[in-house]
Structure 1
Amino acid sequence: MALTIAKFGGTSVASYEAMQNCVRIVNHNPSCKLVVTSAPAGITNHLVSLGRGGLSTEQRDDIIEKIRTQVSGICEQLKEPELVKKKMMHLLADMEQIALVPELPNSLAFQDKLLCYGERLASLLLTACINESGKQAVEFDVRTVMRTDNNFGSANPDIEVLAELAKEKLQVLLKDSVVVTQGFIGETEDGQTTTLGRGGSDYTAALLSEALKARKCEIWTDVPGVFSTDPRIVSDAYPLPELSYDEAAEMANFGAKVLHPATLAPTLRNNIPVFVGSTKNPELGGTTIVKDCQEEPTFRAITRRGNQQLVTLHTPKLERASQFIGKVFQTLDNYGLSIDLITTSETSISLTFNAVHESNLAEASKLALADLANICVVEVTPNLDLITIVGNKLHAKNGSAGEIFEVLRNVRIRMICYGANPHNISFLVEDSESTEVIKNLHKSLL
């Protein structure tokens, strides 16, 4: 079976009207037999707020009512809402009970158990929408196949067990029905609900594509593909017809919001094309991500990651430099921080870093810098933006750096990273200048 797996993002399932766009896409493609859904837009944020605690009874009840109103609004527009209303109300009641658990704010396990309800509600309602269109669809609990470890908040799937369980429990359903399941969530061997972390729904679709040997993995969102840069910055930005896995990973890692780098790993392992398109305008096409592109331009796209800080670590001790660098790396790792850019001199290291969990970046950064201050002098420069030019063989083509620096000749660059990867060149600029820098680079290079 030439299987296509379609993942629909939060904005694509945020309302009854949005879900109808998903239905049309599924019905238009006979090979689209497995659908992965995110939570309706806004609901995961509400659930995260509930999980953090510190809310008054009134605030908690208000959040729960917002979730209830959003999904009930979808349900009431179904042709036969009573077919799903009972299960929907049961899910909402269970969700509310977990929101009342005193241990919730201090337990990642309970928070994961709470977060799963956004996707579970979405899959219930989207299945109903597909069924009422005349196509047979069944809802499937992904947790029965998505076996993970117990690293709550960012669980790691067991690829081999997933493949076995998917073949045993999921493959047979695909013969006769469209199967609708949840992204983002999984389950430990002893039955505890987990979440796959940031970008988890895209990751789910890719993992299932690998497990079921799909022909194609489609990521449906609210934009018609991956753009040459953020169209909110540059009005002339355009969707890219194709990207290589390497290019797409660099874009995602350095600020593009459409895809998460982890999404690409399972599809890359199996050379499965990934398509990114818009549920609102599927006729516009989108971006196909493949191992090898037909064309590999020197400059493909420009990304920006805001709210960056440049950290410079000074040590007067020239001896045992390797031990100093090792301590720096170990300290950052202890707090879940990964280095993006780094340059070194005989007595200093300058770097930028990011967090595995973006929401923890500020706190992790504060703690890490306090530890580093015990072994060296720490200097922090805030209010910077990281701009990355993504392309091909940037370090090999004569004159490519010259083209870039000609545009940047009047820009104060605080740090640059070039040559470590043939697919990108990254640099830090003042945040007040970055918008104009991107506009000029896009006009000159793309």
Structure 2
Amino acid sequence: MKNLIVAKFGGTSVANFEAMSRCADIVLADSNIRVVCVSAQSGVTNRLVSLTRAEITLAERETTLTEIREIEYAIVEALGKPEWVCLALDNLLNELKTVANSENLVNSMQLKDQIQSYGEQMSSLLFAEVMRQRGAHAVNFDIRQVLKTDNNYGKAEPNVEQTRLQAEKLIAPELEKTVFITQGFIGSDDEGHTTTLGRGGSDYSAALIAEALDAETLQIWTDVTGIYTTDPRLTQAARPIPEISFDEAAEMATFGAKILHPATLIPAIRRGVGVFVGSSREPKAGGTWILNQVENKPPYRAIALRKDQVLVTLKSPSMLLASGFLAKVFTILAEHKISVDLVTTSEISVSLTIDNPTNSTSKGLNPLVLEKLAEFCDVKVEDNLSLVAVIGNHLQANSGVGGKLLSALENFNLRMICQGASAHNFCFLTKTEDAGKVVEHLHAQLFDAI
């Protein structure tokens, strides 16, 4: 289908019936939107994750399940309680309760992924009905039939070729006459078990589907009017960016910009899919286009913040004038599928940062990794840190850029600084308690005078 648009709506965009109705307006206003990926309603995924905690009590579990049911049924009530929707929703809620009461849940990443999938499954069921009641020929499509992954539960890797073949077979032939309402964040492995792409993976799912169907545009609809110079919750001076390059946006996503999942742009870049980010509350207010080429390339484009960072410092005298130490370290990290963001080295030590999200079923760092590292070096772990990244262009070459940044930060304690590996970022660690103040001050120094 020519001019195909894949649209993704985040959790706040589908939070309730009124929010879903706004999203339906957007879809119905553009006949080129034929695939819609939805997140779970705002707050639902957090509740689902809480069900997987070892410390949750029976009473807390029942309360959480009741809260989820109330969120979903508030939308069903607004839809007029159609019988078949109630039946389908009750089936999902009953399945959820059964899995939540499983004795193996705490120790099974497979069951944890299954638990988390119910948010998106319920959301797509209800949004498809919103669309149908507005006169659209819409179907609630199970994306697990198409989005195929490995079995690395909690952070599954997609099989791009298999996903493309399934999309061409099951979705493409019906695009002209059907709007597919489907789920973000989830897929399935070769055995048919539900997998998840990690927190924030709904963006990634939509991008993978857009790639598989050769879509012209991927629209990401959220609660803000595009990508801002920084998180507007950190400073009122933050302002929207009309356009940004793929390279800059990828850096922003990687280093914590909440509006984009870090992997979102990879499929878009591979297939040349244009990406638009806008607000489902204000669809006519414009947004941000992410493009291969942009006319304006300022030295400073934005500031990103990523919390929940762990700094691991590995020290060994045997590292002095020796080869193979880093290879040994990164072999262990690779075996446990741990991704490192920042790295600095000295003669006898190496420091690296690892993302360790607090609200996730899978941690970036675990005791087994630390034990293996401790076999050949001293290991020091520091937490309660945040990563701040200044995103821009030619940050390596622009005269005075580094000096200006460091001067702006002279009153703050910085734990680690990285620059030089990329022309698009200047990164450092700071205490989480100071991170908000650091970003606000830095934004004032770099952007307010422009």
- TM class by smaller structure: over 0.9
Question: Paired residue for 1:377?
Answer: 378
Report the 3-state secondary structure (helix = DSSP H, G, I; strand = E; otherwise coil) of the residue aligned with 2:263: helix
Distance 1:192 1:409, change over 3 A: closer
Question: Paired residue for 2:103?
Answer: 102
CA apart distance, 1:154: 2.0
CA distance in 1, matches of 2:321, 2:403: 37
Whether 1:197 and 2:207 are equivalent positions in the alignment is no
Instruction: Give deviations 1:396-445, integer Å, cap 9, x for gaps.
Output: 12222222223233443332111110000112234454333322321222
CA contact (8 A) 2:49 2:360 kept: no
Question: Paired residue for 2:157?
Answer: 156
The letter of the residue matching 1:23 is: A
**TM-score, length basis structure 1:** 0.93
CA contact (8 A) 1:306 1:431 kept: yes
141-150 vs 310-319, greater mean Cα deviation = 310-319
The letter of the residue matching 1:55 is: I
CA distance in 2, matches of 1:360, 1:119: 17
Distance 1:436 1:268, change over 3 A: same
CA apart distance, 1:360: 6.7
The letter of the residue matching 2:231 is: D
Report the 3-state secondary structure (helix = DSSP H, G, I; strand = E; otherwise coil) of the residue aligned with 2:225: coil
CA apart distance, 1:86: 1.7
The letter of the residue matching 1:292 is: Q
Higher helix share: 1
CA contact (8 A) 1:338 1:356 kept: no
Distance 1:290 1:61, change over 3 A: same
CA contact (8 A) 2:154 2:361 kept: no
213-222 vs 397-406, greater mean Cα deviation = 397-406
CA distance in 2, matches of 1:309, 1:364: 8
The letter of the residue matching 2:396 is: H
Report the 3-state secondary structure (helix = DSSP H, G, I; strand = E; otherwise coil) of the residue aligned with 1:277: strand
CA apart distance, 1:336: 3.8
Report the 3-state secondary structure (helix = DSSP H, G, I; strand = E; otherwise coil) of the residue aligned with 1:186: strand
The letter of the residue matching 1:122 is: S
CA distance in 1, matches of 2:99, 2:84: 25
Question: Paired residue for 2:273?
Answer: 272
CA apart distance, 1:362: 6.4
Matches within 5 A, 1:197-346: 197-317=198-318, 319=320, 321-346=322-347
Question: Paired residue for 2:425?
Answer: 424
Distance 1:70 1:316, change over 3 A: same
CA contact (8 A) 1:10 1:38 kept: yes
Question: Paired residue for 2:115?
Answer: 114
358-367 vs 77-86, greater mean Cα deviation = 358-367
Distance 1:367 1:214, change over 3 A: same
Whether 1:353 and 2:354 are equivalent positions in the alignment is yes
CA contact (8 A) 1:315 1:348 kept: yes
Please list every run of at least 4 consecutive aligned residues from structure 1 whose deviation after the TM superposition is greater than 6 angstroms: 360-363
CA distance in 2, matches of 1:102, 1:74: 31
5+ residue gaps, structure 2: none
The letter of the residue matching 1:85 is: C
CA apart distance, 1:26: 0.7
The letter of the residue matching 1:188 is: D
The letter of the residue matching 2:240 is: P
158-167 vs 190-199, greater mean Cα deviation = 190-199
Report the 3-state secondary structure (helix = DSSP H, G, I; strand = E; otherwise coil) of the residue aligned with 1:51: coil
CA distance in 1, matches of 2:436, 2:139: 47
CA distance in 1, matches of 2:380, 2:95: 49
Matches within 5 A, 1:65-76: 65-76=66-77
Report the 3-state secondary structure (helix = DSSP H, G, I; strand = E; otherwise coil) of the residue aligned with 1:416: strand
CA distance in 2, matches of 1:357, 1:335: 18
CA distance in 2, matches of 1:110, 1:317: 43
CA contact (8 A) 1:388 1:427 kept: yes
161-170 vs 75-84, greater mean Cα deviation = 75-84
Instruction: Give deviations 1:26-82, integer Å, cap 9, x for gaps.
Output: 111121111111111122222222233543332222221111111111001114623
CA apart distance, 1:334: 4.2
Question: Paired residue for 2:178?
Answer: 177
CA contact (8 A) 2:308 2:358 kept: no
Whether 1:398 and 2:415 are equivalent positions in the alignment is no
CA distance in 2, matches of 1:339, 1:91: 37
CA distance in 2, matches of 1:147, 1:307: 29
The letter of the residue matching 1:33 is: R
Instruction: Give deviations 1:352-374, integer Å, cap 9, x for gaps.
Output: 22259974786825554454344
Distance 1:91 1:436, change over 3 A: closer
Instruction: Give deviations 1:341-396, integer Å, cap 9, x for gaps.
Output: 22222222233222599747868255544543443334445544322110011111
The letter of the residue matching 1:154 is: K
5+ residue gaps, structure 1: none
CA apart distance, 1:108: 1.9
CA contact (8 A) 1:336 1:356 kept: no
The letter of the residue matching 1:195 is: T
The letter of the residue matching 1:174 is: L
The letter of the residue matching 1:30 is: S
CA apart distance, 1:138: 1.5
CA apart distance, 1:190: 3.0
CA apart distance, 1:189: 2.9
Aligned length: 446
Question: Percentage identity across aligned positions?
Answer: 44
CA contact (8 A) 2:309 2:356 kept: no
The letter of the residue matching 1:226 is: I
Report the 3-state secondary structure (helix = DSSP H, G, I; strand = E; otherwise coil) of the residue aligned with 2:69: helix
CA distance in 2, matches of 1:419, 1:56: 49
Question: Paired residue for 1:58?
Answer: 59
Matches within 5 A, 1:71-90: 71-79=72-80, 81-90=82-91
The letter of the residue matching 1:76 is: E
Question: Paired residue for 2:390?
Answer: 389
The letter of the residue matching 1:255 is: G
**TM-score, length basis structure 2:** 0.92
CA contact (8 A) 1:335 1:364 kept: no
CA apart distance, 1:335: 4.2
107-116 vs 362-371, greater mean Cα deviation = 362-371
CA distance in 1, matches of 2:143, 2:381: 44
83-92 vs 309-318, greater mean Cα deviation = 309-318
CA distance in 1, matches of 2:62, 2:324: 53
CA distance in 1, matches of 2:359, 2:419: 25
